[in-house]
């Protein structure tokens, strides 16, 4: 496991073709790991009928204003469950 609750992370800005579980609107955004959800088969592989290797799933909390700049309140948040291979430490340039 690479991350723990409270770690600051950034979602990779990847745009692979096909089925992915990471919403477009959080790619490139920074957030905080709210919790480790668990380890599951990779749904990006399962969607194509391939055997999915195990991946760790995290719940990441973002300031809603960072995701949707038009949000009037600065205190609202949005939580998204994201698999580990989509996350890097916040200061990492990948």
Note the pLDDT tens digit of each residue in 10-64: 999 988 766 678 999 999 999 999 999 999 988 877 777 787 789 999 999 999 9
Q: pTM to 2 decimals?
A: 0.87
1: in domain: no
> Could you tell me if residue 2 is inside a domain?
no
Whole-angstrom distance, CA of residue 60 vs CA of residue 90: 12
In a domain, 37, yes or no: yes
- d(CA 25, CA 13) in angstroms, rounded, equals 10
The H or E element that residue 80 is part of is strand 77-83
The rounded distance, in Å, linking the Cα atoms of 72 and 31 is 19
Whether 89 has a pLDDT exceeding 80, the answer reads: yes
Number of separate domains in the chain: 1
Q: Which domain holds residue 29?
A: 8-89
Residues 6+ apart with CB under 8 A from 86: 11, 12, 14, 22
Domain contains 3:
no
CATH number of 40's domain: 2.30.30.50
């Amino acid at each position: 496991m690479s991350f723990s609750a409270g770690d600051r992370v950034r979602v990779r800005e990847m745009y692979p073709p096909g089925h992915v579980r990471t919403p477009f609107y959080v790619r490139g955004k920074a957030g905080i790991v709210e919790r480790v959800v668990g380890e599951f088969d990779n749904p990006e592989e399962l969607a194509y009928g391939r055997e999915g290797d195990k991946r760790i799933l995290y719940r990441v909390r973002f300031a809603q204003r960072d995701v949707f700049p038009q949000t009037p309140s600065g205190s609202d948040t949005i939580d998204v469950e994201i698999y580990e291979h989509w996350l890097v430490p916040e200061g990492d340039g990948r």
